[in-house]
Amino acid sequence: MGFLGKLFGTEKELPPLDPASPGAQRIEKLRAVLEPWAAKLHDPIEIVAGERAVYVFIGRPPDRFGIAWFEADGAEHNLKTLAQKHKFTVRQMNELSAKLRTAYEKSAADPRFGVALGQKKAKVLASAGMEADLLRIIHDVEV
């Protein structure tokens, strides 16, 4: 909804994430890292709590977004660090972003839940398909 939705109270309220769910447990394990990180952001965030990592879309996907992911050790990774590690060209980065955009668009009908990371409200995207896509897009590059 954006600013006006918040101002007039028309922003859609999401159901809370079940604390017993695997996604909530994964977020909880990384809460000490995620909360201070999220507090620095002004953009909305949407989390995909996967088995290998907790992925966070930053901004307004599928249009304008970034992505960061946190592995079990709490280390933060993002597209910039991935590009530096693999010496990607601008064209390769654009292709990677396009794949991420397509994966996000495929998940449009998947359920979303609300979770708080300190003062920051976040959406959680519960989608095994999205998790599989992120594994394929991000981590297959790292092999």
Does residue 129 surpass a pLDDT of 90?
yes
If one counts every other C-beta atom within 10 angstroms of the C-beta of residue 77, the result is 17
pLDDT of the residue at 1: 47
pTM: 0.90
Q: How far apart are CA 54 and CA 72, in angstroms?
A: 8
Q: What is the pLDDT of residues 34-92, one digit of tens each?
A: 999 999 999 999 999 999 999 999 999 999 999 999 999 999 999 999 999 999 999 99
pLDDT confidence bin for 3, thresholds 50/70/90:
low
79-83's contacts with Cβ under 8 Å and 24+ in sequence apart are 82/138, 82/141, 82/142
65 C-beta neighbours (distance < 10 Å), count: 19
Please state whether the peptide bond connecting residue 62 to the residue before it is cis, i.e. omega within 30 degrees of 0.
yes
Structure confidence at residue 25 (pLDDT): 97
The HSE-up count of residue 127 (CA atoms within 13 Å, CB side) is 24
